[in-house]
């Protein structure tokens, strides 16, 4: 969540953050790239930055967010692999599979 005088309270969702960093040349600065939904649901990437009070705060935010984003990527991969395993099991057990026979035979 972020608060500004112009826009008020803004919520940023972790699954839409594509990159975050704390540049070494500007240690109090924390930056992230966020995927916004623009007009007609088109995605656009915007860079955001925050000037922190201390260098340690910006580094802590960066480290924690990078850990959370890695965990999110692992969770997505795990969920997809479980879903694929469930679908392949369902297709092999039943007489009327949801996948075409050609695809079952090729896998």
For the stretch 39-88, pLDDT in tens is 888 888 989 888 999 999 999 989 998 898 899 889 989 999 888 887 77
Task: For residue 47, report the phi and psi dihedrals to the nearest 5 degrees.
Answer: -95, 130
User: Is residue 93 predicted with pLDDT exceeding 60?
Assistant: no
Domain 2-106, architecture per CATH: Roll (2.30)
Proportion of the chain above pLDDT 90, given as a percent:
23
pLDDT of residue 13: 75
pLDDT of residue 59: 92
Domain ranges of the chain: 2-106
Nearest-10 Cα torsion for 107, 80, 42, 32:
-130
Range with the poorest average pLDDT among 10-14, 68-72, 91-95, 98-102: 91-95
53 HSE (CA, 13 A, CB side): 0
Q: How far apart are CA 57 and CA 39, in angstroms?
A: 35
pTM beyond 0.75: no
3-class DSSP state for residue 10?
strand
User: Is residue 2 predicted with pLDDT exceeding 80?
Assistant: no
Three-class SS of 31-100? EEEEEEECHHHCEEEEEEEEECCCHHHHHHHHHHHHHHHHHHHHHHHHHHHHHHHHHHHHHHHCCCCCCC
């Amino acid at each position: 969540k972020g608060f500004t005088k112009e826009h008020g309270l803004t919520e940023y969702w972790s699954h839409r953050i594509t990159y975050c960093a704390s540049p070494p040349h500007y240690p109090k600065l924390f930056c992230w790239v966020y995927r916004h939904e623009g007009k007609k649901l088109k995605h656009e990437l915007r860079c955001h930055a925050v000037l922190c009070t201390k260098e340690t705060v910006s580094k802590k935010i960066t480290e924690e967010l990078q850990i959370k984003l890695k965990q999110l990527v692992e969770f997505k991969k795990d969920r997809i692999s479980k879903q694929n395993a469930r679908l392949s099991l369902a297709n092999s057990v039943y007489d009327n599979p949801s996948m075409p026979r050609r695809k079952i035979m090729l896998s």
